[in-house]
Amino acid sequence: MLSKTIEAALNKQIRIEAESSQAYLAMAIWAEVKGLEGISNFMYDQSDEERTHMLKLVKFVNERGGHAHISELNAPSVTFSSYKEMFEKLLEHEIFVSESINDLVHISLQEKDYATHNFLQWYVSEQIEEEATARTILDKVKMIGDDKGGLYLFDRDIQQLTVNSAAQGPAI
C-alpha cells in the first residue's frame, strides 16, 4: 500500500511525464512544419516514449492501492528560434525530469517504501540514457553550426541515432 506522500509524489511525476509527452509532440510538429522530417519523427517517437513512461507510473500507482490522477497540463512551447534552441530545451527538460526522479527516489527511501524505490530504478537508468542522448544530439548540432548540408545529413540520420550510455552497461 502506498503512503499518501508517495502517492502524491508519483502523481506529480505522472503529470511531468504527460507534460514531457506534450512538449515533445509540440517539438515534433514544429520540426515537421519546418520540413525537418527526421527530427520530427524522432520527436514523435520521444513523445510516445514519455506517454509510455506516464502509463507505467499510472499502472504502478493503481496496482499498489493508490489512485493515479490525470490533471490539467501546462501548455508547452510551440515555437523555437532554431532547431538548436529546440534541442537545448530538450536537454534542459531531461535534466529537470532527472531531478524530479531523484526527488522521488529520495522520498521513497525516507518513507521506507522499498518496492517503489526498486520500481524507480528503471526511471533512474532511463534518465541517464535520455540525458546522454540529448547531450549527444546537442554536440552534433553544435558541430553542424549553420551548415545547411550538415543539417540535411543530421535530419536524415537522427532516426538511426544510438547512444551507448553508462546505464546500459558495458558496450559489447
Give the per-residue SS3 of 36-69.
Answer: CHHHHHHHHHHHHHHHHHHHHHHHHHHHCCCCCC
Please tell me whether 72 is known to bind a ligand.
Answer: no
Hunting for cell 514531457 — which residue is that?
Answer: 20
Please tell me whether 92 is known to bind a ligand.
Answer: no
Please tell me whether 127 is known to bind a ligand.
Answer: yes
Runs of H (alpha helix) within the chain: 4-33, 37-63, 83-110, 114-144, 148-157
Please tell me whether 50 is known to bind a ligand.
Answer: yes
User: Contact, 44 vs 88, CB < 8 A?
Assistant: no
Please tell me whether 17 is known to bind a ligand.
Answer: yes
Binding site residue list: 17, 50, 53, 94, 127
Binding site residue list for Fe cation: 17, 50, 53, 94, 127
